[in-house]
Amino acid sequence: MFPNGITVLSLFTGIGGAEIALHRLGIPLKTVVSVGVSEVSRSIFRSWWEQTCQTGNLIEIEDVQQLSVDKLQNYIISLGGFDLVVGGHHIDGLQGEQSVLFHEFYRIVDSVKCLMSSQR
């Protein structure tokens, strides 16, 4: 269905649950822009990426707040847009001290939607 693979923006990637699911479905990962603050989780995901011989590009970003509209626009232009935006969640959900990050998720998804619709 996606012979050339898909480009994914993965927010709060964690250990890569969405990417693992896509891989198991046989969907090639052309590029994954992975955003996650935990070095341990990034290391686990990077290890999975290498062990499964992913041929696509893995771009890692540590802090979701680093994804400005300008940076998103640059990714959209250079990568040809995102085919899928996925997001993990924090164990405390909307009740914990990290709940403010939900607003970052919404901000980024809304920005990607606006930027990609203006590219067409």
Residue 62 confidence (pLDDT) above 80: yes
Query: Concatenated DSSP letters for 50-101?
Result: HHTT--SEEEEES-GGG--HHHHHHHHHHHT--SEEEE---TTTTTSGGGGH
Give pLDDT tens digits for 70-117: 999 999 999 999 999 999 865 555 555 556 677 888 999 999 999 999
Q: Number of H helices and number of E strands within the chain? A: 4, 4
Please, what are the domains in the chain? 6-119 (3.40.50.150)
Please give the span between the terminal C-alpha atoms of the chain, in angstroms, as a whole number: 22
Beta-sheet strand order (sheet of 57-61): 57-61, 29-35, 6-11, 84-87
- Structure-block tokens of residue 72: 């998103």
pTM value is 0.90
